[in-house]
């Protein structure tokens, strides 16, 4: 890849992740774990964007990745999303990594790693497992600081405060 191509790709990638971050912020404001994702087609256009909706929809499968895969496939009128890239603020879980393979996503780019549930690098490597019939290219760490800070802020404010013992 030439230098200007690398630069153009970086700008495009940061733009997509910035949009995913906006979705994550909106989800967090609605009481959801702040995770957002976007789907980018082969031409570089964002064709779907969503934040986590698990709480609002009472749906354990309503992760941002699942929502953008559904929206993108419906929009393209196709069951597969070959040539599309998925950007997500948090490393995908096993369910979403499985769906990414089913959708034939070309590349998954995530922000923060998830040492507790990540299935692209941290706990499993489902998205590019050579035993499966499709492998998505995986890149982690794009805007990882911003993506991770959003999550840690969210969990800090939700964690119950420790009771202060005034009398012993
Ligand atoms: Zn997931």
Residues 48-90 have pLDDT tens digits of: 999 999 999 999 999 999 999 999 999 999 999 999 999 999 9
Dihedral (CA of 123, 129, 133, 134) sign: positive
Whole-number Å distance between alpha carbons of 166 and 168:
7
Give mean pLDDT, residues 152-166: 76
Going by C-alpha positions, the residue among 19, 79, 73 that lies closest to residue 50 is 19
Kindly report the pTM of this predicted structure: 0.90
What angle, rounded to 10 degrees, do the helices at 64-76 and 3-29 form?
110
Please give the mean pLDDT across all residues of the chain: 93
pLDDT over 70 for what percent of the chain? 92
> Residue 160: helix, strand or coil by DSSP?
coil
Q: How far is CA 35 from the centre of its chain?
A: 7
Q: Which is catalytic among the residues 9, 23, 55, 65?
A: 65
Per the annotation, the verdict on 65 as an active-site residue is: yes
Distance in Å, CA 90 to ligand 1 centroid: 9
Give the angle subtended at the CA of 11 by the CAs of 7 and 12, to the nearest 5°.
115
């Amino acid at each position: 890849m030439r230098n200007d191509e690398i630069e153009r790709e970086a700008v495009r990638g940061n733009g997509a992740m910035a949009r995913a971050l906006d979705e994550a912020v909106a989800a967090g404001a609605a009481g959801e774990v702040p995770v957002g994702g976007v789907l980018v087609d082969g031409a570089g256009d964002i064709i779907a964007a969503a934040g986590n909706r698990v709480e609002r929809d009472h749906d354990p499968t309503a992760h941002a990745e699942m929502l953008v895969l559904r929206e993108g496939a419906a929009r393209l009128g196709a069951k597969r999303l070959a040539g599309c890239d998925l950007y997500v603020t948090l490393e995908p879980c096993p369910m979403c990594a499985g769906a990414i393979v089913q959708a034939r996503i070309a590349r998954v780019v995530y922000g923060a790693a998830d040492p507790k549930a990540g299935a692209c690098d941290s706990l499993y490597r489902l998205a590019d497992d050579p035993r499966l019939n499709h492998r998505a290219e995986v890149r982690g760490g794009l805007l990882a600081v911003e993506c991770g800070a959003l999550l840690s802020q969210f969990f800090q404010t939700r964690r119950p405060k420790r009771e202060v013992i005034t009398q012993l």
